[in-house]
Amino acid sequence: MSFTPAVAEQRFVLEHVARISELGVEDDILDAVLEGAGAFAAGEWAPLDRAGDTVGAQWSPEGVTMPDGYRAAYQAYVEGGWGTIGSPEAYGGQGLPFALSTAVLETLGSANMGFALCPTLTVGAIEALAHHGTPEQQAGYLPKLATGEWTGTMNLTEPQAGSDVGALKTKAEPRGDGTWSISGTKIFISFGDHDLADNIVHLVLARTPDAPAGTKGISLFLVPKYRLNADGTPGDFNDVRVVSIEHKMGLHASPTCVLSFGDNGECIGELIGPEMGGMRAMFTMMNNARLNVGLQGVQVAERASQRAVAYARERVQGSREGKPASIVDFPDVRRMLMRMKAQTMAARALVYLAAAQVDRANAGDAQAKALLDLLTPLAKAHGTDLGCEVASIGVQVHGGMGYIEETGAAQHFRDARITPIYEGTNGIQAADLVGRKLNMDGGATLTALLAQMKADAQDSGLIALIDACAEVTQHMLAADMDDRLAGSYPFLTMLSTAACGWLMEAQGRIAAGAGGDPEFLAMKRAAVDFYVAQIVPEAMGLKAAAMASAEVLYVVQADTFAA
Amino acid sequence: MSFTPAVAEQRFVLEHVARISELGVEDDILDAVLEGAGAFAAGEWAPLDRAGDTVGAQWSPEGVTMPDGYRAAYQAYVEGGWGTIGSPEAYGGQGLPFALSTAVLETLGSANMGFALCPTLTVGAIEALAHHGTPEQQAGYLPKLATGEWTGTMNLTEPQAGSDVGALKTKAEPRGDGTWSISGTKIFISFGDHDLADNIVHLVLARTPDAPAGTKGISLFLVPKYRLNADGTPGDFNDVRVVSIEHKMGLHASPTCVLSFGDNGECIGELIGPEMGGMRAMFTMMNNARLNVGLQGVQVAERASQRAVAYARERVQGSREGKPASIVDFPDVRRMLMRMKAQTMAARALVYLAAAQVDRANAGDAQAKALLDLLTPLAKAHGTDLGCEVASIGVQVHGGMGYIEETGAAQHFRDARITPIYEGTNGIQAADLVGRKLNMDGGATLTALLAQMKADAQDSGLIALIDACAEVTQHMLAADMDDRLAGSYPFLTMLSTAACGWLMEAQGRIAAGAGGDPEFLAMKRAAVDFYVAQIVPEAMGLKAAAMASAEVLYVVQADTFAA
């Protein structure tokens, strides 16, 4: 099935939710970028999506090989300048807003979700170096990362250090010349090795000698796969070996690597930012990465929806009013398709709203920064939950064919399932919401957001949900941490749904008054009506769980918690 | 990970929900069957579950080969008499209640879900022959099916006839001697071929000459893989060829076959029941098969829960109160595990309640038959939805390891996903509920069930949900069919949750007063409390969707329903 870029919808959400005109993007630039990215992704990346799944990235002792066509398609991406959209102008990028680069990345990922993870990680490396690198590091690496000629990775996880990053053991020892000798093993490193680019820039969390235990003792290092020659070109191999890749349920186009640093004592790294300042630098990467994982939810939801709608229109089965009917005509199939559309739109609006705050925060807007911090766990967790839900409905719409791999619906279902896990599990996001994000300002940002939502909302069910979120917020602020955590996930879902309802309802009002493609506007209004009338009330059902205490969870002790 | 049969839980639910003592099963028989089946399944079938997934059933032109060990494990099942539990005594079976055979099948399927589909289908064939076969057919086939020495299949689907069975084209032409010549192609035939048994008994829906279009023109045929010799042993090949097997997302131990009947004009079938009476005979198979697919939800939920609890207890990550902690100690992980437990118990209670009505209906209880008819779509659809949900949470509890195939959590997630699709999609079940099942008696059975639930219920949230279900029922009865269908799926979920809440609350009361293993009873009570306090209120959130009209779904026309 061919992929149709969601250009009209992206433009609408960028205009009316992200308010991209305030970010200095002219209409003609907006159109050129969205349409150009769409044509590129549909033409060059989407056709490789199936082979990404069926062939997948392959490991050998020499390294990881991508399926046929991937290297050429990646080079086309670099040459087309698609890597430079959001990169800093000082290093050859176009310096366009993060919100716009979000739309471009969405399109690439809808075309080929596993492949698009590679540029996603490069963006994280650029962020970390741009904020925390020395001028020499920036000059040496950023121009190549900004174009995508080199790619970046994030190296956090070790076998015993997953969600608990502070438990990591990778070592960095001073070599006496200002550089560091890196040794250790990292796991779950996406695109930790591949044959797409001439160098790979690993950003590695490691522990320096005598560093304190936990996250306070962690530093961030720049560790290229190939050290740079004096002229800046990639030179000697830097003793970073890919030991294996994981056998995953999905996302096979993305090699998930076990990387071994310094097996021969010849892995040289440079400190990024101050010693023991690793977590702060890492969070710079991680926060945007979290939005980009939320965006993966949008990517897969969009593609799964397109596939399901196409199938439902085509598949004739039974009859309605005496005539043979396509299944799209049946009410429960319509309900599924409408839910897919509405949830995809909702996830996109939430992620784009957060992305727009990145630009405003970068421009010095402290309120936008606070809103971004609050929205990040919502965009990551709820965006990915919706991606999984929509992909699952997509399988269902296909009936028995959905379970057959050749149809393609199953791939989306398998691909999507990693997104609630990586880049901080959704449980970690919920904990971040009720812990750090509520505590940062005593709930002031959230309270202000809810007040804004309530002022705008018109539907009585939506108003009731917003009120319920305000009530849970007050409950959370007064509760101890275990009770907050016990209700954290239902609360995150309620709050995200309320925010999406607010954004959807506002879009519906605009669509009712706007000129433009009547079919697009009718679909938007129908999806908004469905969301507000059916999905918003569902979230009210989560209030009891959000306010439940931890007590029921601990009645049974861990050692007798029966399987 | 080893599998621990859920014997204590099964016994509790059989006693208190199915009320199995009323069905003539003595305590010692109950214990012997549950414990024996558990020991057999854990010892012989569970160890083959991974190879079922990784190696899977293999096709060649000669037929389907099961992975190493499967044939021996199947023979052990036959020799142990596990196939005979629920089979009719007249044909060598033990004639024990369907409710008890449900528990045995649950255990087999928790051990190895794909493998257990084989006996599940055999049970369907036994039902159809026992109810609709001639004495000769019964004498020829039932003794071998009753022990499992031969296996059965159901052949409904064709490429253009899925949910719309009436569109099938397979032909049956009279051969002049009372037998029929069968020709056509069937798809999605589970265990349509394999090397486990000496014969395979295909029950095939086909169309006789001049039969009217649609379901009215369909007849059911008995088509063995090998024709029977005069002494009843399998003889000549009956021209049933397995053309290929599907490449599915999961359930790889179950070969999903394309079967070609009569390529050489030599496929002979016998009519089962009257000509044009195929749908009625097929429903005999299908109704119990639907309960057994609901039971697959319980199977996979049980296994996924066991795996997640074991992992969560083992996996040390971070700390609580200054000490290293297993993730089972963290509130949101506890919430996930408790949800898995509670939903598994709820699904089991619902399916066992329905199974017990099979026995009562078979004994001539008309009220039980009406209740069975009503509960069947709930048990199938909600049981499988919960299986999928629990398997997905199981992946999440494992974090990144959940996405790695070797861990095993991903297999459950993939295996489970077919269950809401086959044996009538869950959308078809919802349509059955608001159509045929509400219409059969003007809602009398449902209204009576809701009255009983309300009389028993104590929790105010549960009472509110039951009242809401009653309100939606009245709304449905007055609504036109499109409006009913538009709300059918949310209504099915609400109603199922209310029924589960009623069954769970009652179990909680019994557990509070009962003697027995205090750890088991404490876990039961905690899961009940969690279900009533957190899951029941969620279902209230579905009321708006259940009562929404179809209008919002049809605002946009099919041809402009945008992807």
Query: pLDDT for B392-403, tens place per residue?
Result: 999 999 999 999
Least CB-CB distance to A396: which of B167, B420, B541?
Answer: B420
Between positions 340 and 399 of A, the ones with CB within 8 A of B are: 341, 388, 392, 395-396, 399
How far is the alpha carbon of A257 from chain B, nearest alpha carbon, in Å? Answer: 12
Distance between terminal CA atoms of chain B?
A: 43
Per residue in A229-256, pLDDT tens? Answer: 999 999 999 999 999 999 999 999 999 9
The residue in chain A having the minimum alpha-carbon distance to the alpha carbon of residue B550 is: A331
Structure token pair of residue B168: 């099938």
Examine the pLDDT at B391 and tell me if it is beyond 70: yes
The widest CA-to-CA distance across chain B, in whole angstroms, is 84
pLDDT of A375: 98
Least CB-CB distance to A413: which of B417, B482, B558?
Answer: B417
Question: What number is the average pLDDT over the span B248-263?
Answer: 98
Question: What number is the average pLDDT over the span B129-144?
Answer: 96
Answer whether A162 sits within 8 Å of B400, measured CB to CB: yes
Residue B560 in contact with partner chain A when CB distance is under 8 A: yes
Exposure on the CB side of residue A108, measured as CA atoms within 13 A: 25
Examine the pLDDT at A496 and tell me if it is beyond 70: yes
Residue B559 in contact with partner chain A when CB distance is under 8 A: yes
Of A190-194, B47-51, B93-97, B283-287, minimum mean pLDDT range: B283-287
Question: What number is the average pLDDT over the span B166-176?
Answer: 96
Residue B7 in contact with partner chain A when CB distance is under 8 A: no
Examine the pLDDT at A563 and tell me if it is beyond 70: no
Q: Which residues of B touch A328 (CB under 8 A)?
A: 558, 561
Structure token pair of residue B16: 């208190």
Question: What number is the average pLDDT over the span B519-532?
Answer: 97
Exposure on the CB side of residue B463, measured as CA atoms within 13 A: 7
Per residue in B279-333, pLDDT tens? Answer: 988 888 887 899 999 999 999 999 999 999 999 999 998 888 889 999 999 999 9
Examine the pLDDT at A337 and tell me if it is beyond 80: yes
pLDDT of B207: 97
Answer whether A552 sits within 8 Å of B529, measured CB to CB: yes
Q: Between the CA of residue B324 and those of A84, A100, A164, A226, B314, what are the distances in Å?
A: 44, 43, 11, 38, 12
pLDDT of B25: 95
Residue type, B138: Q
Percentage, residues of chain B above pLDDT 70? 100
Q: b/e per residue, B179-201, with b = 16+ CB within 10 A?
A: bbbbbbbbbbbbbbbbebbebbb
Instruction: Suggest the residue from B344, B556, B559 to mutate for an interface test with chain A (most A CBs closer than 10 A).
Output: B556
Q: Place B201 in a pLDDT band, splitting at 50, 70 and 90.
A: very high
Instruction: Outline which parts of chain A fall under CATH 1.10.540.10.
Output: 7-147
Question: What number is the average pLDDT over the span B530-553?
Answer: 97
Of A86-90, A115-119, A239-243, B4-8, minimum mean pLDDT range: A86-90
Residue B407 in contact with partner chain A when CB distance is under 8 A: no
Structure token pair of residue B277: 């009476």
Answer whether B249 sits within 8 Å of A410, measured CB to CB: yes
Examine the pLDDT at A289 and tell me if it is beyond 80: yes
pLDDT of B326: 94
CATH number of A152-280: 2.40.110.20
Least CB-CB distance to A337: which of B395, B399, B561?
Answer: B561
Examine the pLDDT at A185 and tell me if it is beyond 90: yes
Of A546-560, B216-230, B431-445, minimum mean pLDDT range: A546-560
pLDDT of A445: 98
C-alpha A436/C-alpha A415 separation (Å) is 30
Average predicted confidence (pLDDT) for chain A: 96
DSSP per residue, B408-425: SHHHHHHHHTTTTTSSS-
Question: What number is the average pLDDT over the span B40-58?
Answer: 98
C-alpha A352/C-alpha B97 separation (Å) is 57
pLDDT of B80: 97
Per residue in A305-318, pLDDT tens? Answer: 999 999 999 999 88
Start-end of H helices in B417-480: 426-432, 438-439, 444-456, 460-478
Percentage, residues of chain A above pLDDT 90? 93
Q: Which residues of B touch A395 (CB under 8 A)?
A: 417, 421
Tell me which architecture the domain covering B151-276 has in CATH. Beta Barrel (2.40)
Answer whether B164 sits within 8 Å of A318, measured CB to CB: yes
Per residue in B221-235, pLDDT tens? Answer: 999 999 999 999 999
Per residue in B95-111, pLDDT tens? Answer: 999 999 999 999 999 99
Least CB-CB distance to A533: which of B410, B461, B544?
Answer: B544
Q: Place B142 in a pLDDT band, splitting at 50, 70 and 90.
A: very high
Answer whether A558 sits within 8 Å of B318, measured CB to CB: no
Examine the pLDDT at A1 and tell me if it is beyond 90: no
Question: What number is the average pLDDT over the span B392-420?
Answer: 98
Residue B558 in contact with partner chain A when CB distance is under 8 A: yes
C-alpha B447/C-alpha B374 separation (Å) is 11
ipTM of the complex: 0.97
Instruction: Outline which parts of chain A fall under CATH 2.40.110.20.
Output: 152-280
pLDDT of B285: 81
* Contact status, residue A57 vs residue A190, Cβ threshold 8 Å: no
Q: Between the CA of residue B413 and those of B116, B403, B548, what are the distances in Å?
A: 17, 10, 31
pLDDT of B10: 98
pLDDT of B461: 98
pLDDT of B521: 96
Question: What number is the average pLDDT over the span B423-440?
Answer: 96
Answer whether A318 sits within 8 Å of B167, measured CB to CB: yes
Between positions 292 and 351 of A, the ones with CB within 8 A of B are: 305-307, 309-310, 313, 316-318, 326, 328-338, 341
Average predicted confidence (pLDDT) for chain B: 96
Q: Place A162 in a pLDDT band, splitting at 50, 70 and 90.
A: confident
Q: Which CATH superfamily is domain A7-147 in?
A: Acyl-CoA dehydrogenase/oxidase, N-terminal domain (1.10.540.10)
Examine the pLDDT at B470 and tell me if it is beyond 70: yes
Q: Place B563 in a pLDDT band, splitting at 50, 70 and 90.
A: low
